[in-house]
Amino acid sequence: MHRYTALLILVLLPLSFCYFPYNYDGLTVKYALDYNLEITATLKGGDWVKASFLSPVIFESANEAINYRGSNLNPEITYDSYGNRWVTYKFDKIKDPVIQIHREYIITTKFTADKKDTNYLESKYVIINEQISSLANELYDPDNLQFFISVTDWINKNIGYDYTKLNESYYSVNTSEQTLLSKKGVCVDFSILEAAILNSRGIKTRFIVGLVFDGKTWASHAWIEAYDSNLGWVGLDPAYNQVYNLDLTHAKIGVFSDYDEMNDSLEANFSLNNVSLKKGSGLDLYVKLIFEKPLVKEYSITYPEKLISNSEFEFCIDSKNLVLPIQFFNSLEPKEFSGILYKKKCVTINIGDYNGFVYAPYIIYLPGEKIEASFEINKPNVVVSNDNNLVVTEKIENKVSETAETKEIKETGMYYAFFYLSLAILFCITLIFLAKRYLFKPSP
């Protein structure tokens, strides 16, 4: 009965971990963007509009020429002070009220260290008040990476996602103060709050915009990077609870001091009240995977392969200094890893009083991998050795008090042993008697 109960508990666990990040050593995608430039003004022969868009700085190839009035129109390329790449189209002698703009890029993402200590401007959305300073002091750790992990994990677990903003193409951005007060926001708001917490402890931050794969679709996304003198700029994504080792579906497009700086822009020789730029949903972009090279993961799981009923054991996962998002569920009791794994983490799990052999299942979600296995639980007083190559443990000597069932089995066994021993003795006496009577008769 116990083994089926354990299975049922695991099946009924809440599926709160909806994001399954895929991690790669190399990832190449085709990224397409579509816009409609809509003009409601009464157009004259000499009217013009300029539209500027952020584009990836690094790409394998690009198709940026668009068809305008029957011929190819190539954009003007410029770079801002942060090194971001912008493409600008100038539409002269406009006649049509709608101009279609389609661009395509093939992007390869990979983990690259950036150790250049660059100063970024202060963000107008980053407000440090008493509550934010107090929170920063509470979460602070002299190990910067551990501090980054603590802040990212706190925001992920304590700030809810504001799904009402998803219906807006250009939603309003909250200040760090507003986000902490309302306890809700989207990726941009999460990032601003994290920047405020880190800035209050004197750590530099910068804002990142780009793409991410959420397990089902590709979407526009925002996160931050924080500066550490040893590691350089470290990626922090509180929306997906990832630090440093961000999965490579995070395709970086631009780096800024503030989010207002990354907006697409329009110019015209007439009122911009009559011009609008319509784009598709930023939550469902056209991205096609072209090439992927899986990441060789470096982590180990250790626990005794065979466990004893009515005892406890340590379940440990060591990421070997990689920083990994993780979820761990087990059916023995409601203890789990949840959040970011950094170095070795252990949790002590208690085993109930099982009278028979039991498999208790567990599930682990790691980047790009779902591990399903079971704890093997044996009867009390059974001494087992550990033949799991991942684990080195001492021989288990479990002292468990006798249950009524164990005592009954032992007494029954002793009864049968005495019964059969008595029969054997009786049989031997009979053989001796018969031998003396018939085989060893005295001579007449």
Q: What is the mean pLDDT of residues 225-246?
A: 92
The CA-to-CA distance between both ends of the chain, in Å, stands at 74
| CA 37 to chain CA mean position, Å | 37
Q: What backbone phi and psi angles, to 5 degrees, belong to 332?
A: -80, -40
List, for residues 382-437, the tens digit of each pLDDT value. Answer: 444 443 433 322 222 222 233 333 344 344 455 555 665 666 677 667 666 655 55
| 159 and 251 assigned to the same domain | yes
Q: Is the pLDDT of residue 202 over 90?
A: yes
Residue 291 lies in a domain: no
CATH number of 46's domain: 2.60.40
Closest CA to 13 of 369, 364, 378: 364
Residue 398 lies in a domain: no
pLDDT band at 296 (very low <50, low <70, confident <90, very high): low
List, for residues 98-148, the tens digit of each pLDDT value. Answer: 999 999 999 988 877 889 998 899 999 999 999 999 999 999 999 999 999
Residue 395 lies in a domain: no
Closest CA to 3 of 309, 303, 304: 309
CATH number of 173's domain: 3.10.620.30
DSSP H or E stretch at residue 4? helix 2-11
Side chain identity at residue 435, one-letter code: A
Residues 37 and 96: their CA atoms lie apart, in Å, by 10
| 122 and 243 assigned to the same domain | yes
Pairing mode, strands 218-228 and 205-213? antiparallel
Residues 41 and 270: their CA atoms lie apart, in Å, by 8
Range of the domain at 328: 2-19+297-378
> What's the pLDDT score for residue 277?
87
